[in-house]
């Protein structure tokens, strides 16, 4: 995009900071706000600190939000000093958080009443993808608004898909999280089984990487399980939230998701044992506790 735009970014955590940084690096004016301390690197790069989400919305034409959960998005958008109170007709709000598809449709309708467009654009790829600008971005909302914002999405991600109307982006993200959770559970079960049977789990994983069982989860998260590197790329607590969205949606739709429920319970077991801030690959620890056998010993 050749011309500089006035952009806002609210929510500068593990994901939001590098995403906002890519927008600023492309030469766009960037107005930022977050509930914690503003990253100094972003301010040094020329981002302008704002005292509230309202101020961001007043100064920017396209406002991005990236916060943890549905209530956080609602507070940022519709709180006393929220985005909605600073909007004027013709602006665009882009929520890149992972939240409820049902609530997203309500949020979009309220923003539309202000004469503004709304896109739900959750991402997949974790901290690594955010830093590398290689995120998968799944977008719901009006096609014209999507086309207008697409060059900005391209600064943050590589696989960018307009899925459909408002809420469809969030529905896609929930589906993504179902698949990821079940794959982590499957890899966990396989490695616990192999290790308890006396095989070298590292060599088992290496062998499986060459066959039909190969997957990105086996490659990345299987290695974490073997090397015991559970520093969070994506925390169990956040994945729990996403699976709860899936199960709540399933109840509303009258759909049974038995495997998703099982994975959610494994994550709950981890959280109950003080592991909610570990990477979601640490789901393996729930199975290790039940087997009374770790895939590999934890580092001393």
Distance CA 262, CA 271 (A): 14
Residue 109 CB coordination number (10 Å): 11
Q: Is 267 exposed, middle or buried (0-12, 13-18, 19+ CB in 10 A)?
A: buried
Q: At what angle do helices 216-227 and 168-196 cross, to 10 degrees?
A: 50
Distance CA 44, CA 300 (A): 39
Active site residue 276: no
Q: What distance lies between CA 111 and its chain's CA centroid? A: 22
Distance CA 212, CA 206 (A): 12
Helices marked H in 159-293:
168-196, 201-208, 216-227, 236-253, 258-272, 284-291
Residue 105 CB coordination number (10 Å): 17
Residue 22 token pair: 């890519």
Length of the chain: 300
Residue 300 token pair: 């001393």
Pairing of strands 117-120, 62-65: unpaired
By the 8 A CB rule, do 170 and 177 touch?
Answer: no
* Sign of the alpha-carbon torsion through 152, 88, 76, 50: positive
Select which of 91, 173, 276, 285 is catalytic: 173
Residues marked active site are found at 173
């Amino acid at each position: 995009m050749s011309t500089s735009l006035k952009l806002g970014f609210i929510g500068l955590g593990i994901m939001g900071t590098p995403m906002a940084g890519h927008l600023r690096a492309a030469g766009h004016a960037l107005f930022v706000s977050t509930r914690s301390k503003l990253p100094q690197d972003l301010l040094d790069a020329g981002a302008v600190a704002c005292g509230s989400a309202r101020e961001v919305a007043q100064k920017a034409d396209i406002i991005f939000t990236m916060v943890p959960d549905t209530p956080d998005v609602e507070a940022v958008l519709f709180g006393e000093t929220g985005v909605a109170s600073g909007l004027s007709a013709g602006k665009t709000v882009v929520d890149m958080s992972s939240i409820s598809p049902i609530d997203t449709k309500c949020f979009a309708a309220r923003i539309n009443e202000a004469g503004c467009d709304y896109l739900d654009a959750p991402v997949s790829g974790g901290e690594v993808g955010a830093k590398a600008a290689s995120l998968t971005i799944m977008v719901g909302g009006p096609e014209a608004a999507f086309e207008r914002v697409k060059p900005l999405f391209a600064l943050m991600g590589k696989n960018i898909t307009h899925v459909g109307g408002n809420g469809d982006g969030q529905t896609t993200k929930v589906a993504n999280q179902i698949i990821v959770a079940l794959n982590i559970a499957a890899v966990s079960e396989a490695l616990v089984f192999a290790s308890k049977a006396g095989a070298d789990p590292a060599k088992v994983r290496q062998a499986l990487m060459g066959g039909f069982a190969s997957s990105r989860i086996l490659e990345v998260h299987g290695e974490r399980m073997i090397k015991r590197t559970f520093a969070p790329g994506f925390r169990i607590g956040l994945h729990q939230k996403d699976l709860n969205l899936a199960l709540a949606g399933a109840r509303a739709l009258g759909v049974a998701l038995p495997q998703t429920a099982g994975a959610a319970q494994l994550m709950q077991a981890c959280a109950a044992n003080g592991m909610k801030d570990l990477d979601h690959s640490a789901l393996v620890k729930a199975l290790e506790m039940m087997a009374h056998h770790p895939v590999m010993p934890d580092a001393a």
